[in-house]
Amino acid sequence: MIQELFGLEGKCAMVVGGAGGLGQAQCKALAGAGADIAVCDISAEAGGQVVREIEQQGRRAEFVAVDLRDKKSVYQAAEEVLNRLGRVDILCNTAGINNRVPLLEYEEEAWDRVLDINLKGIFLACQAVVPQMIERGYGKIINMSSIMGRISYYNQAGYSASKGGVDGLTRVMAVEWAKNGIRANAIAPTYINTPLVEKVLQDEPERLDYTQRHTPMGRLGQPEELMGLTIFLASPASDFITGQTVYLDGGYTAF
């Protein structure tokens, strides 16, 4: 019974941003639970490495290139995934970037890039993938939000705006597609100890100190701590949950 609730045998997952630190964790988690994986990313080198690691787990994995700022690329990637895997049962929208500058110094091009990748990219990926979910009456969407969609910090204007948008967009998806058997939820992590975050916190030690002081658990999250929540939201165990933003933050937003 428990294995059936959390198992993903026979499912196909498309992870957009699958070569990044969080995306890698999600790819490996979903594969470990039994799903075949399409690792979609702009980086072929990093994406190929994730594919090889999943194959070593004994699961099928395919790399598909995608540029989230290009609608044509997104639709082509979705078509290629469907051609290779046959369907997409689980769509993880995990790609994201940041631009840490004061609001009055934020350049329009940088603003557009952050919003395009973090928010518009989810909109485009869902438009490309969800119709085949609707046809089959089943789908799980997991969007990557952040605690910055709810709280604020210096030099996070574009990022916070994009993640607040992800939360709102996820709720609309849930309302519009519930009748089609599709569940849409978001995960909102605090700082997760990936190589990219590690570099940011090394450059800004005051940010690390602030984060740890405001986190009841007193530490950053680890990539593997994203795995269980990803499996839960992708599996039948969460079939009556939709439209939620789940905070993976060590208690930060409860403090």
Q: Do 39 and 62 meet the contact criterion of CB atoms below 8 Å apart?
A: yes
Tokens 């969407």 correspond to 141
Residues contacting 87, CB < 8 A, separation 6+: 12, 132, 136
Q: How many residues does the chain have?
A: 255
Residues contacting 160, CB < 8 A, separation 6+: 146, 148, 149, 152, 153
159 labelled catalytic: yes
Beta-bridged to residue 185, according to DSSP, are 142
- What is the 3 state secondary structure string of 178-202? HHHCEEEEEEEECCECCHHHHHHHH
Selecting among 75, 159, 210, 252, the annotated active-site residue is 159
Residue 72, helix vs strand vs coil: helix
Residue 68, helix vs strand vs coil: coil
Active-site amino acid positions: 159
